A and B are shown apart, each in its own frame.
Chain A
Amino acid sequence: MSEPVAQEKILKGINASPGICIGKAYLVDKEGVDVVEKYFINAKQLQGEVKRFKAAVKKAGDEFQTVLKNRPEELQRDYILETHIALLEDKMLYGRTVETIQAEGVNAEWALKKIVSDLKATFEKMGDAYLKERAADVVHVSDAIMRNLVGIASKNIAAIDKRVILVANDLSPADTSQINLERIMGFITNRGGKASHTGIMAQALEIPAVVGLETATIAIKSDDLIIVDGNTGTVIIDPYEQTLFEYEERKVGYEDYRAVITRESHLRAETTDGTQLEVMANIEFPEEIVSVKNYGGDGIGLYRTEFLYMNRPDFPEEEELFGKYREVVELMDPKPVTIRTLDINGDKAIASQSGLDEANPALGLRAIRYCLRKPDIFRTQLRAILRAAAFGNVRILFPMITVYFEICEAIKALDAAAESLEKDGLPYKREIDIGIMIEVPSAVILADLLAEKADFFSIGTNDLIQYALAIDRGNRNVAHLYQPLDPAVLRLIQRVAEVSREKGIEVYMCGEMAATAHHIPLLLGLGIDELSMNPQSMPRAKRVIRSLSVSDARSLAREALKKKTARGVFKIIQSAYGDIISELEYH
């Protein structure tokens, strides 16, 4: 009798990070040993929390005893298990966790995680190879306690030690920062959009991600074999053998192709008629500089600075910000680093700002509006940026400028920050390029006025499209109406490019639109000077640019501007550049 073959299931989501991976699923929400939440325990309940911890240790001890009893004869002389049992109640692990719960008033899981990571670090630093490996014993023992704390039936830890594909409802930046990322082959989430944190993280790690799947955590069980195609946004559960072969081939093909375009990514992005376009990187973490350099980035076109403000009860100090900015600036020097000032939005609420409860955060107190309302917080960041500017090539970019008054106020704040640095006698540089993020339709309309106050514009297409077309991309009912090629969007871009030319300032683009292969001929034709995108997209963008000529691109843009629909625009791009695009986009 043959086993009934499992039915292959296909889920469609949003492709948030390219690549293909095939492996075992690991559900985070149900068996979330890796994701530890921190919360505070009321003083009266602390004893109860300690008891809960002790009970978990006891249960873990019972589990070990059971394994010990059932141990096969040939392993009787192996003392590892006995050591593990003894470690369960070791002062450095057990005692210190109890102390931490009591002293810091935190939950047992968090206290245990903290103590274990300290211990792990102590052992991993040791010179002796044997002692180094004892870190693994500590982790093994604490995993057993953790499983009992979180209240999940014991699971074979070996399964988690393998590389897995993470399946979750949603991953917050706090979650992703706690996951042991070396074990992760790919991400799948129910929620999230293309520019969600999960996508950005996955791109930074160069692993595939599919988000917005809605039912992934229901359809997929831990240990299911799944295929994640981050290029098309497809997830296949229990694939047939035929499908598996097909994807293995595609995976190899994709990796070969990446290798080819990456090899030539250090060459300049110059059109066939000799115009050079700068291809820059959007980054969030200093760690991403490695991929920026690997992929031949001409600089940082957008350095997002929100991360340092998230998941903490207070605001970062100037020194901390300065340290991070300086690191990025020095690593990139002499190439430019465009630092965008704090842009808080609905997706990235600041813990210390829980007072902000808005019905419509996209239209609320965010970005420059927030900073102008909180001059102390703004000044701290501006001072840090000006100080970092003394160490390399820095540009500053103000987000969400909507009216003329805001850019005037922002520049005033920058001048005041410079003055205060002068008084304090700290090194800084005030003569940096000032940029305005064009992401609100009013800024396009006022572009001629704003241009007088700026050295460059940077078009943030993600928000500009959202505001121009009144589409929330996270809303699946209307997401299909989000069309970068809509004639309304093209006209906005055209106006910004035209005004920039007239006023003699530079115009850049840092939204996702810039990273999409088939948009590039159009953007070149419209007169964008610099494209900024996630580092992984740079080699492809450079390859596209090298195959284009400015004169052809201009005539394409002229034709495109006559079209009445997004579909019409896409069709003429396809007929002119279909061959390039199909090679690059569907690989």
Chain B
Amino acid sequence: MINEEHNKIRITTIKNELGLHARSAAQIAGISQNSFANVWIQKDNEKADASSILDILTLACAKGTKITIIIEDLADLPILNAIADLVETGFGE
């Protein structure tokens, strides 16, 4: 249980050429919409609701941007992993 808080965040880097554009944001939002609690994408000090394409887009994440994925409930761990996988595999582009 010591690592509970630590498990709720994941830091990763945007790898795909286009960055977090509409289609990739839509994929993240699609996954996040099934969460129990809030899921966030953070870039620097800005936080966006991961279930909103528009909110994600406003972060303007280009290729190479470091982002932090945050969940509020450990029950959403599968969602955290799925988003991190998507980002790391470059959204299958």
Interface stretch of the complex, out of A88-96, A161-169, A347-355, A367-375 = A88-96
* A11 on interface, CB distance cutoff 8 Å: no
> Which of B18, B30, B55, B62 interacts with A92 by CB under 8 Å?
B55
A138 adjacent to B54 (CB under 8 Å) = yes
* B52 on interface, CB distance cutoff 8 Å: yes
* A172 on interface, CB distance cutoff 8 Å: no
The smallest C-beta distance from A507 to any residue of chain B, in angstroms, reads 59
Q: Would A83 and B49 be within 8 Å (CB), given that A126-B58, A127-B60 are in contact?
A: no
> Which of B22, B30, B49, B62 interacts with A91 by CB under 8 Å?
B49
* B57 on interface, CB distance cutoff 8 Å: yes
A79 adjacent to B22 (CB under 8 Å) = yes
The residue on B at minimum CB distance from A93 is: B54
A86 adjacent to B21 (CB under 8 Å) = no
* B51 on interface, CB distance cutoff 8 Å: yes
Cβ contacts A163-195/B at 8 Å (1 or 0 each):
000000000000000000000000000000000
Tell me which residues across on chain A come within 8 A of B23, comparing CB atoms. Answer: 79, 82-83
CA–CA, A122 to B23, complex, Å? 19
* B77 on interface, CB distance cutoff 8 Å: no
* B26 on interface, CB distance cutoff 8 Å: yes
CA–CA, A9 to B22, complex, Å? 48
CA–CA, A93 to B23, complex, Å? 17
Q: Would A87 and B53 be within 8 Å (CB), given that A79-B23, A137-B22 are in contact?
A: yes
Q: Would A122 and B58 be within 8 Å (CB), given that A87-B53, A90-B53, A92-B52 are in contact?
A: yes
Tell me which residues across on chain A come within 8 A of B49, comparing CB atoms. Answer: 91-92
The residue on B at minimum CB distance from A134 is: B57
B58 adjacent to A86 (CB under 8 Å) = no
* A128 on interface, CB distance cutoff 8 Å: yes
8 Å CB contacts to B: which residues of A86-137? 86-87, 90-93, 95, 119, 122-123, 126-128, 130-131, 134, 137
CA–CA, A122 to B60, complex, Å? 12
Q: How many residues of B contact A (CB 8 A)?
A: 17
The smallest C-beta distance from A124 to any residue of chain B, in angstroms, reads 12
Cβ contacts B45-83/A at 8 Å (1 or 0 each):
000010111110110101000000000000000000000
B54 adjacent to A119 (CB under 8 Å) = yes
CA–CA, A83 to B54, complex, Å? 10
The listed residue with most A CB atoms (<10 A of its CB), out of B29, B30, B49, B54, is B54
CA–CA, A95 to B21, complex, Å? 21
Q: Would A92 and B21 be within 8 Å (CB), given that A86-B26, A131-B60 are in contact?
A: no
Q: Would A123 and B57 be within 8 Å (CB), given that A86-B29, A92-B52 are in contact?
A: yes
CA–CA, A187 to B60, complex, Å? 40
The smallest C-beta distance from B18 to any residue of chain A, in angstroms, reads 8
8 Å CB contacts to A: which residues of B21-44? 21-23, 26, 29-30
Tell me which residues across on chain A come within 8 A of B21, comparing CB atoms. Answer: 130
The smallest C-beta distance from A64 to any residue of chain B, in angstroms, reads 13
Q: Would A86 and B60 be within 8 Å (CB), given that A79-B23, A92-B55 are in contact?
A: no
The residue on A at minimum CB distance from B21 is: A130
The residue on B at minimum CB distance from A141 is: B54
The listed residue with most B CB atoms (<10 A of its CB), out of A90, A95, A119, A138, is A90
The smallest C-beta distance from A356 to any residue of chain B, in angstroms, reads 44
Q: Would A90 and B60 be within 8 Å (CB), given that A79-B23, A83-B53 are in contact?
A: no
Q: Would A131 and B57 be within 8 Å (CB), given that A79-B23, A90-B52, A92-B52 are in contact?
A: yes
B52 adjacent to A83 (CB under 8 Å) = no
B57 adjacent to A86 (CB under 8 Å) = no
Tell me which residues across on chain B come within 8 A of A82, comparing CB atoms. Answer: 23, 26
Q: Would A128 and B54 be within 8 Å (CB), given that A83-B26, A86-B30, A134-B22 are in contact?
A: no
Tell me which residues across on chain B come within 8 A of A123, comparing CB atoms. Answer: 57-58
CA–CA, A501 to B7, complex, Å? 90
A83 adjacent to B60 (CB under 8 Å) = no
Tell me which residues across on chain B come within 8 A of A138, comparing CB atoms. Answer: 54
Tell me which residues across on chain A come within 8 A of B22, comparing CB atoms. Answer: 79-80, 83, 134, 137
The smallest C-beta distance from B41 to any residue of chain A, in angstroms, reads 13
CA–CA, A522 to B57, complex, Å? 65
The smallest C-beta distance from A141 to any residue of chain B, in angstroms, reads 10
The smallest C-beta distance from B35 to any residue of chain A, in angstroms, reads 12
Tell me which residues across on chain A come within 8 A of B60, comparing CB atoms. Answer: 126-128, 131
Tell me which residues across on chain B come within 8 A of A95, comparing CB atoms. Answer: 52
The residue on A at minimum CB distance from B48 is: A92
Question: Shortest 8 CB-CB distances between A and B: which pairs?
Answer: A92-B54, A91-B52, A83-B22, A79-B23, A86-B26, A92-B52, A90-B52, A83-B26
30 contacts across the A-B interface (CB closer than 8 A): A79-B23, A80-B22, A82-B26, A83-B22, A83-B53, A86-B26, A86-B29, A86-B30, A87-B54, A90-B29, A90-B52, A90-B53, A91-B49, A91-B51, A91-B54, A91-B55, A92-B49, A92-B52, A93-B54, A119-B54, A123-B57, A123-B58, A128-B60, A128-B62, A130-B21, A131-B57, A131-B58, A134-B22, A134-B57, A137-B22
Name A residues whose Cβ lies closer than 8 Å to a Cβ of B: 79-80, 82-83, 86-87, 90-93, 95, 119, 122-123, 126-128, 130-131, 134, 137-138
Further contacts, 8 of them, CB under 8 A, given A90-B52, A91-B52, A92-B54: A79-B26, A83-B23, A83-B26, A90-B54, A91-B51, A95-B52, A123-B58, A128-B60
